[in-house]
Amino acid sequence: MPKSLAPKSNDGNNKCAELETGKNSDLNVSQLEQMVDLDNECRKIINDASQKLSLTARSYHRVLKVARTIADLEYCVNVNKDHILEALSYRKKRAS
């Protein structure tokens, strides 16, 4: 990501900076669970989408990482439903 687009790591909004991993893509599952605290509405959205889209565990976690990045770019501390929905919209469509 270009440096100009990256949120400032010292402003408290970039949760990944708290773990000093540098990138959301480098988060392991336990770190991801710490960084993405979903409310009930968000959890329902991603769980429903996971079943409907037959997401693998890897795909599910990738969606969460993308949602965390979207939240960081918007300087949001928490991931919300709009971030989850936007991350899901970037999933490649499979040919039927």
Domain that holds residue 49: 28-89
In a domain, 5, yes or no: no
Kind and range of the H or E run holding 51:
helix 40-52
pLDDT in tens, 58-93: 999 999 999 999 999 999 999 999 999 999 999 976
In a domain, 54, yes or no: yes
Instruction: Judge contact between 72 and 19, C-beta under 8 A.
Output: no
Instruction: Judge contact between 28 and 53, C-beta under 8 A.
Output: no
Residue 95 has a pLDDT of: 54
In a domain, 81, yes or no: yes
pTM over 0.85: no
Q: Tokens in use for 31?
A: 């770190």
pLDDT in tens, 11-30: 555 555 555 657 999 999 99
- The number of distinct structural domains making up the chain is 1
Q: 44: domain CATH number? A: 1.10.8
* CA-based end-to-end distance of the chain: 33
